[in-house]
Chains A and B, each alone.
Chain A
Amino acid sequence: MKQAPLSEMTVEQLVDRFTAIALEQDRAVRIDDNTKFKRLFWQMEAVEEELKGREGDQRRALLRLYHHPRAQVRMKAAIATLALEPKAARQVLESISDSHDFPQAGDAGMTLVMLDRGIFKPS
């Protein structure tokens, strides 16, 4: 079934889309399917841009995903909201990094490294 354009989706639908993409990413990274992951990465970027462009920066709606059972969803929601909620988002990343829940534990840990080194500047 063809997806509706992002610009026509509600914030709720965009959050659902974000979650669905993250779950697909989870499956891709677990089997090193980087071709698929790359496509999904840019799809997620588009969803984030759409949310960011909505009045009041609706990326805030992703905060509810901080408690999702899958680490990939939590991690991506935290990274997407670092600029809005730096402290809370960082706590989510630290928690994943310490969780032994791989492969996300490694990715979250490296995200923190790049943040602390000032190379990653969330906007």
Chain B
Amino acid sequence: MSNEMSAATERLLRDSADVAALRHKLALINIAAQHRLAWYRSHYSPDQPRVPAGNPRGGQWTSEGNTESGGRPQTMSDVTPDNLWKPGAQYAGRGPRRGSGRIGGEAEPGQAARLAIARARAADATARVRALDPDWRPGAGIEESIEAQIRAYEAQAEEAEARLRELAGFELPPIIPKERPATKQEQHAVARELARWLVKNHGQVIEGAAWLLEFEPSIEAYLDPPKTLEELHQAVSNPKPGYEIHHIVEQTPAENEKFPRTMIDAPDNLVRIPKFKHWEINGWYGQPNKAFGGASPREYLRGKAWDERIRIGLYALIKHEVLKP
């Protein structure tokens, strides 16, 4: 029966231009959402305020009583069960592994957190797929070592998410732990994934978590549309949370190569850009890249004239959707 239902569902979804099919598709998404709520109902509080659908700012999550955002309604997360987000070795041995044998080694705090995220993501994605296709089973087994378990859970999640996209045409939001992750690096990782998901899934609304409030300016800034160069220059004189000052020609390499500070810090080399975009661009500058002959863009620019540095700097801003083309 379930195979027939699944085939019928897929036939309906194939033609989403058809009104009836679209209505059915929306109903399926609702089923998936209901399933998810049931999945975490032990952590669900009906008193928690929710962001209403149809937020005109498109995907921007809001928070009640947050001084930074002017007291808008807050969304609290119950996305990840409490017992999946407590760093420690207790998670190392609890995977749904197949076969016998001891888990190799104890998880370190960061590793345990990654394992918990991977496991929650796999379980969530699998549950959602099964709400639409009860016969679906992931292909891969679960491995013994912690790193292998993380990879296996992630592979399982990838597989389930791909199937879910086929069935319902929407992408899973990132896992947002209810409790604050142990390290700043992990907190930033979650906040950045949330920001990226919101950019990619424009118009969607996601449940946040109280600990994320301090990252709200950075997340909101990441959603900025591209601006003109003039706007980015002018904003330099108006510092704002969630933004950083960026040198179009990177300052440290330029200084190392004896370009004068008057050029490096000149107004036409400075722009105010979203903090998370700044980090992304800085990261890209330092990564080896086949398009730069295997060197990083930073290494490629070594010994190059100011003009080429500017050119690459502006292209990077455009391609990261900070600067209007």
Proximity string of chain B (181-219) to chain A, C-beta cutoff 8 Å, 1 when within and 0 when not: 000010011001100100110100000000000000000
- Would A111 and B291 count as touching, CB distance under 8 A? yes
Q: Chain A: which residue is nearest B290 at the CB level?
A: A79
Chain B 141-197 interface residues, beta-carbon cutoff 8 Å to A: 151, 154, 158, 161-162, 165, 185, 188-189, 192-193, 196
Asked whether any CB of chain B lies closer than 8 Å to the CB of A105, the reply is yes
> For the complex, what is the distance from the CA of A106 to the CA of B281, rounded to whole Å?
8
Nearest chain A CB to B219's CB is how many angstroms away? 13
> For the complex, what is the distance from the CA of A75 to the CA of B200, rounded to whole Å?
17
- Would A106 and B162 count as touching, CB distance under 8 A? no
- Would B161 and A101 count as touching, CB distance under 8 A? no
Secondary structure at chain A's binding surface: helix, strand, loop or mixed? Answer: helix
Q: Chain B: which residue is nearest A41 at the CB level?
A: B288
The bracket for how many chain A residues form the interface is 20 to 34
Asked whether any CB of chain A lies closer than 8 Å to the CB of B280, the reply is yes
> For the complex, what is the distance from the CA of A41 to the CA of B200, rounded to whole Å?
26
Nearest chain A CB to B252's CB is how many angstroms away? 15
Which residues on B sit within 8 Å (CB–CB) of A103?
A: 196, 280, 283-284
Which residues on A sit within 8 Å (CB–CB) of B21?
A: none
Given contacts A31-B189, A69-B162, A103-B283, contact A110 B316 (CB under 8 A): yes
Nearest chain B CB to A47's CB is how many angstroms away? 13
Asked whether any CB of chain B lies closer than 8 Å to the CB of A92, the reply is no
Which residues on B sit within 8 Å (CB–CB) of A101?
A: 196, 200
- Would B287 and A102 count as touching, CB distance under 8 A? no
Residues of A within 8 A of B (CB): 20, 23, 29-32, 34, 37-38, 41-42, 45, 69-70, 79, 97, 99-103, 105-107, 109-111, 113-115, 119-120
Given contacts A32-B279, A34-B283, 18 further A-B contacts (CB under 8 A): A29-B283, A32-B283, A34-B286, A41-B287, A79-B291, A100-B202, A102-B200, A102-B320, A102-B321, A103-B196, A106-B316, A107-B289, A110-B284, A110-B315, A110-B319, A114-B292, A120-B290, A120-B292
List 20 interface pairs A-B (beta carbons < 8 Å), by A numbering.
A20-B151, A29-B287, A41-B287, A42-B288, A45-B294, A69-B158, A69-B162, A100-B199, A102-B200, A103-B283, A105-B321, A107-B289, A110-B289, A110-B316, A110-B319, A111-B289, A113-B319, A120-B290, A120-B291, A120-B292
